[in-house]
Structure 1
């Protein structure tokens, strides 16, 4: 290459370098501290670094840090519409709060480094608080913006950041999942600077108005995220580009930073258990889902599953759970894939109507005594029926009984079948439920 050609190449390189820097100032800014720990502020007429420091920074003199980060030559002059990167740690804020919306079993909280204590309904928790659930327990927290987070059994979470930034009037929430799982139903953001992040030791999930679940297994060093609806961006320990999930997909994050994305299993279809549950124990079954290694059932009093009263897993699509008081409930079923990802939920309603439990029949001084127990709310009336075993014809058919027993005399020898129906009168409905027929014998 000739000397003239070399000089020409050098000149072109310098021109390109200068022009590139002049035409792309945002690229230089992007190299400064920012991301999750900073916001971008648009300069308005009359703004200076001095006035911004006085109005919006915790320490007024920290405008010098803002000057250094953004390479501002004159702190008294800022072009209108210029973008400034402002570290969140420097900004004034108003504390937000979380309140206990529902809990069951062993749910505890600690604040300010104190010991764990049992939570109470409506209890307010602030930044730095820690919450823990034990076996067969759950806890739901309502945040100031209307978002709800729910911890299942054996989970621990810390409220790392819970504040509203004054400069942008935006929320800045960060939750740290230590172990177990959490379901987050995040209210749609009203401000472009709103931020909601959920961390665990190996991954960060950033959301914008969504419904998702997060799990962390310390023993396996593995995290999982499942997106029900909305949008979710996940960053692993390798600090590579975010992995973005769309609805009905999940991700498994290993401690080495690898992220495996797969589609979530579909919601199981209910086979039995809908309608009314009359037996002492609750029983449900769902249709088997191809690819599932286990199934999960949650029961709640509300459709949003804030007030959870039951949470069980099963290796088969059949469930038998503990008894519940009479009432109307919601059941939510999911299928769990071999990867550990929990699938899309299928929600169904059912009614709990354990109206009577029979206690058998016995011979008494005045005849044969048939007893039962009535349970549930509302006014109750009982209907007693007796027939022989070999014919459907009723020997006794007494309705409108108010007591919990009936005495029958002069019954001839033979084998009988009897049952009790309960009519419950409540403000919501008038309903009748029958026990199964039970056998009773009178010897000659």
Structure 2
């Protein structure tokens, strides 16, 4: 009961400041006087006498350094505070009194302004007290209250989230007068120094997740107060109060992700947690959490983005529950060094088997590139290297190869001499051309002489040539055959001819001719069976 009463009292102090007047504590500095302090901080500088009475100060001109003075918040000078846009990405507009204009980094924002972010857009704001607000894509907020207490550094800030998602990092508030609140149609949050996320779905529930510190949550229509510590969250609908505190899903395990990425598109994968079906992945500049560059939700435990400039970044990933409650963050710092991009390999085709011993490697020329580096190896680890040329200016390079597999890769060299990353390895192989078929002894079938040789591999064809001389200076027959057989016609009766055959692969690669063999063709068919053996002479 005491805990609930304390939460209720604290919530009232956050959302109803007029009910809880408080004192601000000022630490005296060397040389301070009450009149100077009053002139610097109070609405009415003449109230220094009241300040003297309240703090029982004997000499208003001689204060002890380090002494704490009580100053009622109601006495402090108050005024309208401003917010500053410190980072803007994509389509973000500000609306005041119905007038729209694009939001730019450095713009100053006043109370009452509305901000809208489009798809793939976001903005980061800094408030008077140093608190930060990151407005995600497809969000709409109103700066409902921004008040500052003179030169104290204290601020009273209220933001209305109509739809979308926010990430807040709230500066530590030392006085009850300093407040930071986010309101929505379903859920209101009050905080003093914390880091949390807040989201409102269109016509749906609101959800809040606390990453550090403590947050008090209440329904927009009042009701129960829920205290949320770090690692807990709540979900609330407009027609009901916040759910009891729920533990956030644990952070995904990002172990094994590369520290250096050299190829685009950008890809990351992680282990899927039990029961998790959605993840939110974001990429920030390593220099600042205010600079959000990529932000998407994925239904597989992986993220993919087409492009990003070279630089140092922080990947942030967390699970997303079915009701929208988002889990604890996992982060991984990486360097993207993908430029200048490696050339596109043109030839030989990936994985192609090549018969020729001389192979011409060819590639495209990216813009802004003055040269290339080429490496060739017979191992995918590129150790040892058979070729390592680092000063190539042309887009082709001949290499001599022997039977086996080969791997090659390319890197671009920019005009300033800077070498980019190597491409992924490309592979080709050298295989010997098809062997020449061995002619069998001719056979007499259907009163004709048939020449045969062993069948080849699937898809292979054959070329047969007949010539009157062993040098094949003139060719009597030149035929491409789909089967390993040829019928010698009657026109060759009584003649001496030479025959040779070659194999042609399905990809058009031609093997060597067989050694020429001589056939003495008898002048009459009945004599053929008697002349089979002596008529074939291997030269």
TM score, norm. by length of structure 2: 0.60
Distance 1:321 1:404, change over 3 A: farther
Distance 2:20 2:99 in 1: 33
User: Which residue of 366, 389, 408 corresponds with 1:398?
Assistant: 389
Name the SS of the counterpart of 1:197 in structure 2: strand
Distance 2:361 2:24 in 1: 87
Distance 1:283 1:123 in 2: 35
Q: Which has more radius of gyration?
A: 2
Aligned to 1:240: 223
In structure 1, the gaps of 5 or more residues are: 1-30, 45-54, 58-75
* 1:142, distance to aligned residue in structure 2 (A): 1.6
Aligned to 1:176: 160
Distance 1:349 1:402, change over 3 A: farther
User: Which residue of 146, 158, 161 corresponds with 2:145?
Assistant: 161
Distance 1:237 1:43, change over 3 A: closer
Distance 2:394 2:43 in 1: 71
Q: How does 1:44-443 map to 2 (within 5 A)?
A: 56=43, 93-115=78-100, 117-166=101-150, 170-220=154-204, 222-260=205-243, 261-302=245-286, 304-355=288-339, 356-361=341-346, 368=360, 370-371=362-363, 382-387=372-377, 394-399=385-390, 401=391, 403=393, 405-408=395-398, 416-421=406-411, 433-439=421-427
* 1:271, distance to aligned residue in structure 2 (A): 4.9
Distance 1:332 1:245, change over 3 A: same
Distance 1:358 1:425 in 2: 15
TM score, norm. by length of structure 1: 0.72
Distance 2:378 2:277 in 1: 48
Distance 1:264 1:42, change over 3 A: closer
The question of whether the paired residues in 1 share the 8 Å contact of 2:373 and 2:392 is answered with no
Distance 1:149 1:43 in 2: 26
1:303-339 alpha-carbon deviations (Å, 9 max, x no partner): 5421111111111212222221211111000011233
Q: 1 or 2, which has the higher strand percentage?
A: 1
RMSD: 4.3
Name the SS of the counterpart of 1:293 in structure 2: coil
Distance 1:224 1:383 in 2: 53
Aligned to 1:72: none
The question of whether the paired residues in 2 share the 8 Å contact of 1:225 and 1:250 is answered with yes
* 1:153, distance to aligned residue in structure 2 (A): 1.2
Aligned to 2:479: none
In structure 2, the gaps of 5 or more residues are: 1-11, 26-41, 45-49, 56-69, 349-358, 431-508, 511-539
